[in-house]
Amino acid sequence: MIKKVNTPLNEESARSLRIGDRVLLSGTVYTARDAGHERLYNALLRGEDLPFPLQGAVIFYVGPSPAKPGSVIGSAGPTTSYRMDSYTPMLLEHGLKGMIGKGQRNEEVKAAIKEFGAVYFAAVGGAGALLAERITDAKIIAFEDLGTEALRQLEVVDFPLIVAGDAEGRDLYIEGPEEYRAQHEIDADNYGGQLQ
């Protein structure tokens, strides 16, 4: 089913989402990827304020391509999330409620999603032109020196996402392939062994 969700997210709405839900997200999201996360993490360690309110925030892991004249943003698809895993539990502890990326998270991130009541959304990787259509505003709010990795505030309307990790600790990257193999009666010998 398709659910309309607005940001900022509260714990109750984050906890109500389940893996496999298709979501159209609207509101403000913030962009950060490798270098941006390192800075946010170090700022939290030093007890400093972040450039945006983390409470209820959704972070989109993206380094967009440059905007053409007259465009809000260039292509803007998700980057692979695991590179942000070492920074993520602390961000969740400080109020982050949603992440948009692609690919599996580690056990620490999944545990923190469960503990703090958050949600991990997958966007379609490599669909940067399609996703850019749903971004109505973009501005750099910090770390401008990082270029494509600068921290941006985006406004999105009906941004298409799939819940990949939920607050019950479930993981669609595990359950989705398992379900396919069960439905098609494929055993481990037919694809070269266990996935995990």
Interface positions with another protein (CB under 8 A): 20, 22, 62-68, 74-77, 79-80, 82, 102-104, 122, 124-130, 132-133, 147-148, 160, 162, 164, 172-173, 175-181, 184, 186, 190-193, 195
Please identify which residue in the block is written with the tokens 């037919």. 190
CB closer to another protein out of 90 and 124: 124
**Smallest distance from the beta carbon of 136 to another protein, in angstroms?**
16
Task: State the Cα–Cα distance between residues 43 and 20, nearest whole angstrom.
Answer: 34
The per-residue DSSP string of 79-97 comes to PBGGGGTTTHHHHHHTT--
**Smallest distance from the beta carbon of 103 to another protein, in angstroms?**
4
CB closer to another protein out of 93 and 188: 188
If we measure between CA atoms, which residue out of 16, 151, 118 comes closest to residue 110?
Answer: 118
**Smallest distance from the beta carbon of 31 to another protein, in angstroms?**
11
CB closer to another protein out of 45 and 183: 183
**Smallest distance from the beta carbon of 175 to another protein, in angstroms?**
7
CB closer to another protein out of 141 and 186: 186
CB closer to another protein out of 47 and 183: 183
Q: Please give the C-alpha separations between residue 77 and each of 2, 59, 108, 135, in angstroms, as whole numbers.
A: 20, 13, 25, 11
If we measure between CA atoms, which residue out of 163, 150, 158 comes closest to residue 120?
Answer: 163
Please identify which residue in the block is written with the tokens 């304020």. 49
**Smallest distance from the beta carbon of 179 to another protein, in angstroms?**
6
Task: Identify the sign of the CA torsion 147, 149, 152, 154.
Answer: positive
Task: State the Cα–Cα distance between residues 86 and 91, nearest whole angstrom.
Answer: 10
